[in-house]
């Protein structure tokens, strides 16, 4: 008998369902509030079409748009059509479009209009009859966060939030989930007063990315990595989300929020949780959440905050070949705005596995390149049996999970340079999604919208995760608020000098991806 055959424990990546069978949503509809907005046009409508094109939506699926414009169903269908033609991932197919668009409805109204919600209720009742949506409805709040409470309240008062006879009602909320711990608690209380937690789907679109889900496969489906996945071998971890674009046209959303609230509180802390958590008992949602909650509970800022955090605001500079202005010259930003466009923090995870390993998180706009990656940087070999000149160009080993673009994994290690002398230099061994698999990855929103319709909550942070993340970030934000203006960095560079100093104090440096 093969050595593993007698082992009876469960394989955590398997469940009872055959993974080769597509997961198709049952009868249902989705209502999008804020259907005229940027997110809806760029991501949500195209993702719904792509799901239909892949045969993953039920045949009678209905999409209901709710917005202020005085539109008929046909006007709404034209908006969806334009969004799909511009942004869908999969090819356009007339037959798929015809069937999908037969289920489009538009309800005109403002969020404080009781009559509009009554019209929405009768539209959904009619769809249950005509399209067979069967009383199952998801409400996607793609709207300014300030409007979440009023829409939740309307859904409650119009009885749209209450399912009948074993049907379901779900609400989808976009980030930001509050702007600090107190407001997040308030928001969670409002949402949970209308929808039970199992019906609340908080979108962190990073969790819908294949490369992010691959962290779980890499860690828990292999034997190779786990033995070195700890303070015994890892010197520190760097989690980076860098963007090369600025904030032209997005002042309304971004001013007063800033990089830390926009990216660290959600995406980067979720990545940290997946990298640092222990193996879950199974991949059942509650087990996965339990591990993430545990690790976020053990995560703390490294003191003193002044030396272990950095923030900056982009000044003029170059983005590729284009000369660009600084944040304060961007349209819509106050000339004295203190909103940071770069944020870096140093964290530690107080567990046996991670004691003494700093986790450095950074994000910024107008940086050198658009890249998101997680780099586990290994300790140096305790002894090198070479002359120091032979290893002058040898750095630290690193395992880099490339989240986007150029999705894949890189392992960096030292190798002999060809020639008669012994010279060791860093080389990269690459796994690339594009080369290893023929099928292209679905967009994050395809996966997440499908999971909402299926009622599969694994990839959605629960309120405890949201609140723990704010608990980590709040002290940093408070310290920054006392300091006033952030340091300026030149557009096209890798951020403010204080961020480099933050790592240099411990003899480390940021990667230049």
Ligand X SMILES: NC(=O)c1ccc[n+]([C@@H]2O[C@H](COP(=O)([O-])OP(=O)(O)OC[C@H]3O[C@@H](n4cnc5c(N)ncnc54)[C@H](OP(=O)(O)O)[C@@H]3O)[C@@H](O)[C@H]2O)c1
Residue selected from 14, 26, 38, 74 as contacting ligand X according to rule CB under 6 A: 38
CB of residue 118 to ligand X, shortest distance in Å: 16
Among residues 50, 128, 134, 174, the one that binds ligand X under rule CB under 6 A:
174
Binding residue (CB under 6 A) for ligand X from 147, 231, 305, 325 = 147
Residue 144 makes contact with ligand X by CB under 6 A: yes
Our finding on whether 120 is near ligand X (CB under 6 A) is no
Q: Which span sits near ligand X by CB under 6 A: 139-147, 178-186, 282-290, 341-349?
A: 139-147
Q: How many CA atoms lie within 13 A of 31 on its CB side?
A: 29
If binding is defined by CB under 6 A, does position 111 make contact with ligand X? yes
User: How many residues in the shown chain lie near ligand X by CB under 6 A?
Assistant: 19
Catalytic hit among 137, 205, 236, 267: 267
Query: Is residue 83 a contact residue for ligand X (CB under 6 A)?
Result: no
Among 39, 237, 376, 477, binds ligand X (CB under 6 A): 39
Give the burial class of 474: count Cβ atoms within 10 A of its Cβ; 0-12 exposed, 13-18 middle, 19 or more buried: middle
Nearer to ligand X, 148 or 359 (CB): 148
Q: Is 82 in the site for ligand X (CB under 6 A)?
A: no
Nearer to ligand X, 235 or 243 (CB): 243
Q: What is the largest CA-CA distance in the chain?
A: 83
The C-alpha atoms of residue 152 and residue 195 are separated, in whole angstroms, by 8
Nearest to 238 by CA among 348, 342, 353, 362: 362
Residues 427/412, Cβ–Cβ less than 8 Å: yes
Which residues within the stretch 298-327 sit at the binding site for ligand X (CB under 6 A)?
Answer: none
Active-site annotation holds for 267:
yes
Q: Which of residues 257-286 bind ligand X (CB under 6 A)?
A: none
From CA 187, how far away is CA 208, in angstroms rounded? 23
Start-end of H helices in 222-316: 251-254, 258-259, 269-276, 285-297
Radius of gyration of the chain (CA): 24
Contact between 36 and ligand X by CB under 6 A: the answer reads yes
Under 8 Å between Cβ of 314 and 327: yes
Identify any residues that bridge with 392 across adjacent strands, giving them in sequence order: none
Q: Which is nearer to ligand X, 177 or 360 (CB)?
A: 177
3-state helix, strand, coil in the chain (%, to 5): 35, 20, 40
Q: Does 175 bind ligand X (CB under 6 A)?
A: yes
Q: Of 140 and 360, which CB lies nearer to ligand X in the complex structure?
A: 140
Q: Which of 216, 493, 480, 506 is nearest to 360 (CA)?
A: 506
- Helix (H) / strand (E) element for 201: namely strand 200-203
Least distance between ligand X and beta carbon 374 (Å): 20
Q: Is 488 in the site for ligand X (CB under 6 A)?
A: no
Residues in the chain: 513
Q: Does 110 bind ligand X (CB under 6 A)?
A: yes
Residue placing its CB nearer to ligand X in the complex, 175 or 209: 175
256 binds ligand X (CB under 6 A): no
Residue sitting closest to ligand X (CB): 37
Task: Using DSSP, state whether 489 is helix, strand or coil.
Answer: strand
Considering only 98-106, 143-151, 357-365, 454-462, which stretch makes contact with ligand X by CB under 6 A? 143-151
Mark the segment that binds ligand X (CB under 6 A) among 144-152, 234-242, 320-328, 446-454. 144-152
| 105 contacts 127 by C-beta, under 8 angstroms | yes
DSSP string, 463-483: HHHHHHHHHHHHHHHHHHHHH
Whole-number minimum distance, CB 76 to ligand X, in Å?
12
Closest to ligand X by CB, 42 or 54: 42
The verdict on 363 binding ligand X (CB under 6 A) reads no
CA atoms within 13 A on the CB side of 495: 30
The distance of closest approach from Cβ of residue 150 to ligand X in the complex, given in angstroms and rounded to an integer, is: 8
Confirm if 268 and 179 have CB atoms less than 8 A apart.
no
Q: Which of residues 176-205 bind ligand X (CB under 6 A)?
A: 176
Task: Name the nearest CA neighbour of 66 among 131, 135, 142.
Answer: 142
Of 70 and 95, which CB lies nearer to ligand X in the complex structure?
70
The Cα-based distances of 246 to 79, 148, 195 in angstroms read 27, 27, 37
Is 493:367 a contact under the CB 8 Å cutoff? Answer: yes
Q: Say whether residue 145 binds ligand X (CB under 6 A).
A: yes
Distance CA 180, CA 503 (A): 26
In the complex with ligand X, which residue's Cβ is closer, 65 or 496? 65
Helix (H) or strand (E) holding 73: helix 73-87
CA 376/CA 399 separation, integer angstroms: 5
The least CB distance from residue 415 to ligand X, in Å, is 41
In the list 67, 160, 271, 452, the residue contacting ligand X (rule: CB under 6 A) is 67
Which of residues 12, 24, 37, 328 is near ligand X by CB under 6 A? 37
- Select from 29, 31, 34, 340 the one that contacts ligand X (CB under 6 A): 34
Cβ proximity to ligand X, 123 vs 397, nearer residue:
123
Question: Which sequence positions are flagged as catalytic?
Answer: 267
Query: What residue ranges bind ligand X (CB under 6 A)?
Result: 34-40, 67-68, 110-111, 142-145, 147, 174-176
């Amino acid at each position: 008998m093969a050595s593993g055959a007698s082992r009876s424990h469960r394989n955590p990546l398997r469940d009872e369902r055959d993974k080769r069978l597509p997961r198709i949503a049952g009868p249902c509809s989705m209502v999008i509030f804020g259907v005229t907005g940027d997110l809806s046009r760029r991501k949500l409508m195209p993702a719904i079409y792509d799901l239909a094109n892949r045969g993953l939506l039920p045949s009678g699926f209905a999409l209901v748009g709710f917005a202020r414009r005085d539109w008929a169903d046909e006007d709404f269908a034209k908006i969806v059509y334009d969004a799909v033609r511009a942004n869908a991932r999969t090819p356009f197919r007339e037959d798929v479009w015809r069937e999908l668009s037969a289920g489009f409805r538009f309800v005109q109204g403002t969020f404080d209009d009781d009559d509009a919600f009554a019209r929405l209720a009768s539209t959904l009742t009619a769809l249950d009859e005509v399209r067979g949506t069967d009383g199952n409805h998801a409400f996607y709040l793609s709207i300014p966060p300030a409007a979440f409470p009023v829409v939740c309240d309307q859904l409650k008062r119009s009885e749209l939030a209450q399912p009948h006879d074993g049907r379901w009602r779900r609400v989808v909320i976009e980030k930001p989930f509050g702007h600090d711990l107190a407001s997040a608690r308030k928001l969670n209380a409002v949402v949970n007063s209308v929808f039970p937690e199992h019906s609340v789907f908080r979108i962190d679109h990073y969790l819908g990315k294949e490369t992010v889900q691959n962290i779980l496969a890499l860690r828990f489906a292999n034997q190779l990595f786990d033995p070195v996945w700890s303070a015994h071998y890892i010197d520190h971890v760097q989690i980076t989300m860098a963007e090369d674009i600025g904030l032209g046209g997005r002042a309304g959303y971004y001013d007063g929020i800033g990089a830390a609230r926009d990216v660290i509180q959600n995406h980067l802390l979720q990545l940290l949780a997946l990298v640092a958590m222990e193996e879950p008992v199974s991949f059942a949602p509650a087990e996965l959440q339990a591990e993430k909650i545990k690790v976020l509970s053990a995560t703390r800022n490294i003191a003193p905050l002044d030396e272990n955090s950095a923030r900056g605001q982009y000044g003029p500079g170059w983005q590729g070949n284009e000369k660009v202005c600084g944040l304060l010259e961007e349209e819509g930003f106050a000339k004295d705005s203190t909103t940071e466009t770069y944020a870096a923090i140093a964290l530690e995870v107080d567990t046996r596995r991670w004691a003494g390993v700093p986790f450095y998180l950074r994000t910024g706009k107008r940086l050198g390149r658009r890249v998101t990656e997680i780099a586990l940087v290994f300790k140096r070999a305790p002894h090198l049996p070479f002359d120091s000149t032979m290893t002058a160009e040898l750095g630290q080993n690193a395992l880099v999970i490339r989240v986007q673009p150029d999705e894949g994994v890189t392992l960096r290690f030292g190798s002999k340079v060809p020639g008669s002398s012994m010279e060791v230099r860093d080389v990269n061994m690459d796994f690339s999604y594009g080369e290893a698999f023929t099928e292209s990855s679905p967009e994050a929103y395809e996966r997440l919208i499908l999971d909402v319709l299926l009622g599969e909550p694994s990839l959605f942070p629960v309120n405890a995760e949201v609140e723990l993340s704010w608990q980590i970030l709040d002290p940093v934000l408070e310290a920054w608020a006392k300091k006033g203006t952030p340091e300026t960095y030149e557009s096209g560079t890798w951020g403010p000098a204080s961020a480099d100093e933050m790592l240099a104090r411990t003899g480390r440096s940021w990667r230049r991806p």
